[in-house]
Amino acid sequence: MRKIQPAKGCLTCSLDLCSADSVPFEERETLLQMRSRGGLLRPSSKLYSLLLKLEESVIRVASKCSLHAAFLFTILDDLLDTKKSSVELIGCEEHQRGLTTAVITHYLNCRMHFVCAEADRAVVESHRSKRDMAKRAWLN
């Protein structure tokens, strides 16, 4: 919540992002509770639902096609495809568009970092194996 500018200081928006401490833990939060040293914030059900839809879109697109220049836009198209599911906006009436956009942007930036790192790792491994095979062929 600290870094999301559109809703800074808005109580409704902060409640849509984080669960209140009085709300009992759900089963999905068991790992979060075990790993927490008291500083982790628990996502609200609205935020959890949005992140779940985002992750499902990333997985669906990544399983269908390889990494390409418009990969991020393909994920967004998949996410906004109303036949699959609708995206619930987070926050109050005034901030919901900016807040939801900020959450989606941040999440996809993080995911793209990991997707690109994995693709880069695969390319490096491929080059390494080709180089090793060429070296063995040259030595024989």
CB 133 within 8 A of CB 44: no
113-127: pLDDT as tens digits? 888 888 889 889 989
Residues 92-111 have pLDDT tens digits of 899 888 888 889 999 999 98
- What three-state secondary structure class fits 18? strand
In angstroms, the Cα distances linking 94 to 18, 89, 100, 101 are 18, 11, 12, 13
- Structure tokens given for 25: 């833990």
pLDDT value for 25: 64
Distances, alpha carbon 124 to alpha carbons 68, 117, 132, 133, 137, in Å: 17, 10, 12, 14, 20
Which among 27, 21, 17 is positioned nearest to 39, based on CA atoms?
21
